[in-house]
Amino acid sequence: MVTPLRRVAEVADNLADNLDQQAREDDGPAEVRSVARALNRTAARLTLMVSRQQRVAEDASHHLRTPLTGVRLRVEAIEDLAPTTQLRDEASAAIVEIDRLTHRIDQILALARSDAGAFPVRVDLHEVVRQRIAVGRVQADAAGVKIAAALPDFQVLVLAGEGAVARVVDELLGNAFSYAAAEVSVSVTEHGGYAQLVVADDGPGVSDPDLASVFERFYRGSNAKPGGTGLGLALVRETTTAVGGSARAETNENGGLTITTTWPLVP
């Protein structure tokens, strides 16, 4: 028989995964009911803090992206009307920088969400990866890179934050396209209660000293190409670990970089 104190302990133990849980305040002796009330008040305050942090990040992102969109439109007009090639080239370079800044804002917002501990939902990893590969083929073609995908023909249901899998896949594909010489491989498998998403390229790879640091925020390795933010792989690791998964980097047989992420399967 589960005692009232044990039930309160179980709610406390599961709060990290679900702040919506409530301990029964009418169950057991007065001391246990008092602990339950205190636990529920703490959970309510934590929920408010998480919500406030996410709202601040989203508001900041909105107020930054809106003027950037206006600036981009004006620079595009300058590019179209520029009387000289030099001015058109400068306007084109400015557009690239605006897009890069917009992407960095999106990454910072996603990191803020992972810091806030977005509650996981059921996501079909296979379907999301398939969709993001379809979208990414335009970028792959522009980079002259082939995508080799090995995906299962069944659902792979994992626990992840809302939109988290798509963001991670986009970051992994974008990073691989930037460095691949000819091919990027993508695979999804299941093993030991986890799904594995593996993205590998045949590029120059990462030096051994850099491998241990590639997931740190703003880290730029010795082989990093100009223009990156240093946030993409940090977003990958923090998003996966936030739901009980992991991210690992290693050199593959082609000398390129392989990133393996794991996601807890839906029980």
pLDDT score at 189: 94
Measured in degrees and rounded to the nearest 5, phi and psi for residue 39 equal -65, -40
Q: For residue 108, which amino acid is it?
A: I
Question: H or E element: which one contains 159?
Answer: strand 157-160
pLDDT tens per residue across span 141-171: 988 999 999 999 888 999 887 788 988 998 8
Residue with tokens 């969709």: 131
Give the integer Cα–Cα distance in Å for 191 and 260. 13
Residue that wins the pLDDT comparison between 225 and 122: 122
Q: How far is CA 259 from each of CA 15, 54, 172, 175, rounded to the nearest angstrom? A: 31, 28, 8, 10
Answer whether residue 128 shows pLDDT above 90.
yes
* Domains annotated on the chain, with CATH: 1-118 (1.10.287.130), 120-264 (3.30.565.10)
Answer whether 208's CB lies under 8 Å from 231's CB: no
pLDDT score at 199: 96
- Half-sphere exposure (CA, 13 Å, Cβ side) for 134? 7
Answer whether residue 222 shows pLDDT above 80.
no
CB environment 213-246: b (16+ within 10 A), e (fewer): ebbeeeeebeeeeeebbbbbbbbbbbbbebbebe
Give bridge partners of residue 259 from the DSSP assignment: 199, 249
Average pLDDT over residues 39-63: 70
Measured in degrees and rounded to the nearest 5, phi and psi for residue 87 equal -70, -40
pLDDT score at 1: 36
In eight-state DSSP terms, residue 195 is E
pLDDT band at residue 41 under the 50/70/90 scheme: confident
Give bridge partners of residue 245 from the DSSP assignment: none
Residue with tokens 């007009």: 77
Average pLDDT over residues 217-224: 69
Question: H or E element: which one contains 121?
Answer: strand 121-124
Give the integer Cα–Cα distance in Å for 33 and 22. 12
Average pLDDT over residues 102-129: 73
